[in-house]
Amino acid sequence: MNKIKSLMALAAATAMIAVMLTACGGSDQSVPQPLQTDEPGTQQPAEENVTDIVFDNQNILVDGEQVGSSADSAVYISNDIIYYQDRDTYDSGNVYGEGTAEERHSAEKAAEHTVVNIAAAGTYRLQGKLPLGQVRIDLGEDAAEDPSAVVTLILDGADITCEVAPAIIFMNVYECDNGWSTETATAEVDTSAAGANVVIADGSINNINGAHVARIYKDNGEEKKLWKQDGAFYSYMSMNVNGGEEGSGLLNITADNEGLDSELHLTINGGNINIRSGNDGINTNEDGVSVTTINGGNIHIIAGLGAEGDGIDSNGWLVVNGGTVVSAANPGADAGMDSDMGSYINGGTVVALGSTMDWAESDSEQVTLNLQFAQYEASDSAIIIADEEGKVVFAYDPSEDEVIAENIRKFMGAIISSPALEMGKTYQVYIGGKVAGTETAGIYDADSVTGFEGAVQQQYTGTDVRRHPGGFGRGERPEGWENMTPPEGFEEGKFPPEMPEGGFERGERPEPPEGWENMVPPEGFEEGTFPPEMPQDGFGEDGTITEVEASTQFFMQDKVNNFSGVTAVQ
């Protein structure tokens, strides 16, 4: 690691950014709590208020009538899909964008795609197959501030493929969090009033196969963004995804880049969602503001099928209150769950597999194990947790999960959370082997498990709680930090520095700049405790490392328990 990055890591280890804001009707609480909802995912629009859009290849019917091309209609077709063109510059000579050769498309290929435009608020049922096309929802530039500009898509046997852009995209609808700001953002958000809504109809199978649009600049020579649409299923506004009354519908998303994306917030309340993506599986991308909330449903993600990709990536917060989440990342350097402002597990069943670890936060409400293995585990390795009597309380087998089994390669870290785990109890962890019992998509019903064989018991040698010196956790910044006098060696505007993603490796000990020891501490640090001393072994994102003797007893001392150096018992 170069000196500058190391210095930034050392300084940032003393305090991290946390600005908690209320978006879309949140609260002032600093710790996200489960939202109080009545059977999430059961919302169903009244049938008499639904407009039916039926695809029959390129033949499109709206309430039984052939769709037209008049932009005055609530639903119309056009041939103006937004895509990344095969060019380097505009005619003016200005740079066109940042797309690679693989992200370019010919005008001929783009022209093969039909855009089905939804231009009026309401509920629309999508059915049938659209082999080369896009569903685009755009209620006009003023829609973001209009609470009535709400569109609900019922996916009821829809099969849509777009090879040059997102297959479904919400452009302009009501944004329930119009007042968002980084200064007031929080991990709690109520998106129930959002203008972008999706319902996965009971009993339906829906396939969304989409591409993305790389960053295109405005033609003004300033290289400012005109378009950038990263996901196969994309929304510029906050979006809700719901299941039907039974929650039996299925949404399969296949993406060349990212899968299910929102520019601001995303809330999943129900339904069955399978995602295979070249990059991140789910992404919400407003820095320090976006909240990905999962209240229910069954979500299975295999991400990073290209060069990289997290399973779920939030540029703000990630909050799991319920449902089942299985999320596997690219094994190179990505996490099953990744968030800039913190990941909280308050309920549900969670299995997050990857390489780098973005631990669940200690303020989570449900007992969770963060496991960091000493070496990569095989892609088909089951993870089994048993109590002191040997009774299985949790088991997941990737080889039995049809979404994961085909693509996952290996993993070095795992986040496991289940309602069956209890604080104050001791558990044993096993990897591999076969489980005898009843499973659903790789997750076993613990009461049905009669035993397991061939699994290897694990031990751990460290409890790396990843908290930095001074007692400040992720997302906490002591009052006065921004007013500190920077030491000699920091350029103007470069202090306080940002923490580089992933921190720095154990064993690295960067030298502080001249004057570091004379820096004025912010309010909140006791005399003599600032600047903090660097642990001799270095530290990761949160800092404290406690070495312990090898143990097979995984004791749940806290709601969230972190174990490093996990390896097979010899």
Confirm whether pTM is higher than 0.95.
no
pLDDT at 86 over 60: yes
Cα Rg, the chain, nearest whole Å: 25
pLDDT at 145: 97
Q: Can you tell me the distance from the alpha carbon of 137 to that of 121, in angstroms, rounded to the nearest whole number?
A: 9
Half-sphere exposure of 281 (CA within 13 A, CB side): 31
Position 245: which residue type? Answer: E
**Residue located via tokens 């109080």:** 36
Q: How far is CA 310 from the centre of its chain?
A: 7
Q: How far is CA 23 from CA 84, 175, 181, 479, 486, in A?
A: 33, 11, 9, 23, 33
Q: Can you tell me the distance from the alpha carbon of 510 to that of 7, in angstroms, rounded to the nearest whole number?
A: 6
Position 37: which residue type? Answer: T
Q: Are strands 168-172 and 231-235 parallel, antiparallel or unpaired?
A: parallel
What is the enclosing helix (H) or strand (E) of 12?
A: helix 3-12
> Please, which pLDDT band fits residue 336 given cuts at 50, 70 and 90?
very high
End-to-end alpha-carbon separation of the chain, Å?
Answer: 34
Residues 6+ apart with CB under 8 A from 102: none
Name residue 554's beta-bridge partners.
427
Q: How far is CA 41 from CA 20, 34, 177, in A?
A: 27, 15, 21
Mean pLDDT of the chain: 84
The answer to whether 282 touches 255, Cβ cutoff 8 Å, is no
pLDDT at 502: 43
Q: Can you tell me the distance from the alpha carbon of 466 to that of 46, in angstroms, rounded to the nearest whole number?
A: 50
pLDDT at 41: 45
Q: How far is CA 537 from CA 24, 508, 564, in A?
A: 43, 7, 15
The answer to whether 382 touches 395, Cβ cutoff 8 Å, is yes
Please tell me whether the peptide bond between 496 and the residue prior to it is cis, using omega within 30 degrees of 0.
yes
User: With the CA atoms of 192, 196, 202 and 203 taken in that order, what torsion angle do they form, in degrees rounded to the nearest 10?
Assistant: -150
Per-residue pLDDT tens digits for 341-355: 999 999 999 999 998
> Please, which pLDDT band fits residue 377 given cuts at 50, 70 and 90?
confident
Half-sphere exposure of 206 (CA within 13 A, CB side): 32
Per-residue pLDDT tens digits for 468-527: 333 333 344 444 555 555 655 566 655 655 544 444 443 344 455 555 566 666 555 666
pLDDT at 263 over 50: yes
pLDDT at 358: 81
E-state strands within 346-498? 349-354, 368-378, 383-387, 392-396, 410-417, 426-431, 434-436, 439-440, 443-444, 451-453, 456-462
Q: Can you tell me the distance from the alpha carbon of 306 to that of 362, in angstroms, rounded to the nearest whole number?
A: 32
Q: Can you tell me the distance from the alpha carbon of 540 to that of 341, in angstroms, rounded to the nearest whole number?
A: 16
Q: Can you tell me the distance from the alpha carbon of 211 to that of 258, in angstroms, rounded to the nearest whole number?
A: 8
pLDDT at 446 over 80: yes
Which residue ranges make up each domain of the chain? 47-177+191-455
What is the enclosing helix (H) or strand (E) of 300?
A: strand 298-302
Mean of the pLDDT values across residues 60-88?
A: 97
pLDDT at 44: 54
Q: Can you tell me the distance from the alpha carbon of 402 to that of 410, in angstroms, rounded to the nearest whole number?
A: 16
Q: Can you tell me the distance from the alpha carbon of 256 to that of 288, in angstroms, rounded to the nearest whole number?
A: 26
pLDDT at 275: 97
pLDDT at 4: 31
Better pLDDT: 436 or 521: 436
pLDDT at 568 over 60: yes
Tokens of 570: 């010899």
Q: Which residues of 35-69 are buried (b: 16+ CB within 10 A; e: fewer)?
A: bebeebbbbbeeeeebeebbbeeeebebeeeebee
pLDDT at 537: 39
pLDDT at 23 over 60: no
Tokens of 333: 């350097």
